Amino acid sequence: MPPPDPGARWDGSATAVAVAAPGASDVVLCRIDGPGRETRVALEPDAHDPAWWVNPAAPLRPGDRYGFRVTGDGRSPRRLLLDPWARAVSGDVDWARAGPHGFAGDVDTAPFVPHGVVVAEPAGATGEHGGGTGTRPATPWDRTVVYEANVRSLTAAHPGVPPGQRGTFAALGHPAILEHLVKLGVTAVELLPVAAFVHPRFLWERGQRNLWGYDPIAPLAPHPGYVAGPDPVAEVRAAVRALHDAGLEVWLDVVFNHSGELGAAGPVLSWKDLDPAAYRRTPDGAFEDLTGCRNTFDARNPRVADLVVGALRHWAAWYGIDGFRFDLAATLARDAPGDPDPAASPLLARIAADPVLGAGGVKLIAEPWDLGPGGQLAGRFPPPWREWDGHFRDAARDAWRGARPVRAAIASCLAGGRDHLGAHRPATSGIAFVTCHDGFTLADLVAHDRKHNDSNGEEGRDGTDDNRSWNGGVEGPTTDPMVIDQRARRRRGLLATLLAARGVPMLLGGDEIGRTQLGNNNAWCQDGPVSWLDWAGADADLLAFARRAVQARRSAPPFAGDTWPEAEDLRWFGAGGQAIEWPVWHSSDDPVVSMVAPRWWTVLNPSAEDRDVVAPPPVGGAGEAVVSWRAVLDTAAADGDPAGPGAGPARVAPGDARPVPAWTVVTFLGDPSA
């Protein structure tokens, strides 16, 4: 275990410093007093664990910048190293000053690397959940609707946000952003990484920047580029409080599988010299790349595990964070030789049992894969963990691009994915999504057959080729009114499918206003109009539709609670009103399917043909009083209004036929009157 206060902790009168540097012969704390000026103080090995170097009364006060210089075992004291436990960070890597050989060990790196900053613990953050950040919404899983967003992309071009705040935490808590989220009806905002990260050299050489933030360097510190004012702690806390006061949970995407120091040729900024063994999973000490980012943290290393848990507790206690989504969570489950096993992972179990984290009601979400052997772990993360549901994404995309047969796959996902997520787990175990930051936006999914990533500078090598998309007959922008209409219908159909499904739906920020990335499906380095939400060009009809679809789900969800429905409470019917039996699920190319739950009926027609669909009988005990079905969402109308232009009949009795146009979803509630 680490000392009680790893990092630099100010207690109101003194600063205690502790940093892990196993195998070092000397560790020196450096206070940055100005360009070329430092105050240096030697640290001593901790009496209980000599891997830790400490000073109980270091010459640091809040606002001071600092770093470490280490010697021994091949390390160079010319490198100023960032504290992995830093609570705040100043600056970024200045690649122009670093030059091509700045980290070789014979150049003082202090002028061109980020520095740790000492900050005081905010009042109320005493280890409990976010004192001073508002009342925790604690939205039940079955009532949760997630909105995935990037702090910068969401706010950088919003005309209602003051220019000096755009792209920052201050903008995230601005009334203009809050109003949009509240009117949309989502309940949780899942933010792409907000902990301090670096912009790799190769991006700087191409004149690009790291937009997504998946190159972490200080997991406890807010990214300085997202801070508008002088006090990062206060700014983040104010944003979280504003979101909480609006009834919104705040989730963070966290990256503990690798660091921004990349591989052997990457910069030496922190762990590489402080604690090289934290990277090394292999007997020969080579970098292992299970992440696609040229290095992999060893979750078996107790110092890595302590940092992971400490960082999570810090964000929950200081900032009131309500949930964490773990990037490439399979990597954290690689504890023993062979394939990873989340159910046997000490680190995942520790996170789940922690009184501030899993046992304290903080939501835990796994991206259930990585790039290593056996890295596809869908359905294997035990409660209370939830998972991103890639099966839902693939099935929904296949259905709405015309793939056949598709009914069995889409029905499984609409029902919550019991077959691939596990009947022994809660029915809200899957985070269902059609699009996310990684891949096409919704608008691009229906407008492109292939990726268009040339502007990324990788000659089209980056980004997946498995998009499961369909352009409707024309690649990219078009003036053909029939193609435009069909694409709009499929966008609405995909959103309606997502919001009619069992489980926890997640929207990609910007999909609700028609955001396009011009066919780029890997826009991690596009910090500009390609990735920023175009508020001025927002699709008003699509936004109205998204609001209506979310409201339909929240006002009368098809399933409540965490238990799987009994067979009599969930039935499936074809267009002619016939119950769909097992052989037909996989043999028929007819994609039309009706999902019927007590007082809830959703019919999907993901095809190019208009169909007449027979209204099904009610099911379950609550359905006995149903006399007619009343439409609450009709994707044939541009804004989803069942009484609007293009919509079909608003009411239909069980056994009667109802027209359902091509590429349409209609959702009904059962009424006790005709």
Write out the catalytic residue numbers: 327, 367
- Indicate the DSSP class of residue 35: T
| Cα distance between residue 528 and residue 438, in whole Å | 17
| Cα distance between residue 375 and residue 333, in whole Å | 10
For residue 389, list its beta bridge partners.
Answer: 432
Nearest to 593 by CA among 641, 643, 664, 652: 664
- Indicate the DSSP class of residue 639: T
Q: Taking a C-beta distance cutoff of 8 angstroms, is the pair 103, 134 a contact?
A: no
| Cα distance between residue 267 and residue 258, in whole Å | 14
As to burial, measured by CB atoms within 10 angstroms (0-12 exposed, 13-18 middle, 19+ buried), residue 543 is middle
| Cα distance between residue 112 and residue 95, in whole Å | 7
| Cα distance between residue 623 and residue 669, in whole Å | 10
| Cα distance between residue 501 and residue 505, in whole Å | 7
Residue 26 CA, chain-centre distance (Å), reads 40
Tokens of residue 393, six digits: 């994404």
Find the length of the chain: 674
| Cα distance between residue 623 and residue 516, in whole Å | 41
Element (H, E) at 542: helix 540-555
Nearest to 226 by CA among 269, 166, 178: 166
Q: Taking a C-beta distance cutoff of 8 angstroms, is the pair 294, 258 a contact?
A: yes
| Cα distance between residue 310 and residue 321, in whole Å | 14
Query: Which distant-in-sequence residues (6+ apart) come within 8 Å of 637 by Cβ?
Result: 545, 644, 645, 646, 647
As to burial, measured by CB atoms within 10 angstroms (0-12 exposed, 13-18 middle, 19+ buried), residue 602 is buried
**Radius of gyration over alpha carbons of the chain, in Å?**
26
Cβ atoms within 10 Å, residue 230: 8
Tokens of residue 130, six digits: 């976010």
Tokens of residue 485, six digits: 């209409």
Handedness of CA 616, 185, 494, 585 (dihedral sign): negative
Nearest to 488 by CA among 440, 531, 546, 537: 546
| Cα distance between residue 583 and residue 602, in whole Å | 22
SS (H, E, C) 77-132: CCCCECCCCCCCEECCCCHHHHCCCCCCCCCCCHHHCCEEECCECCCCCCCCCCCC
Q: Taking a C-beta distance cutoff of 8 angstroms, is the pair 530, 154 a contact?
A: no
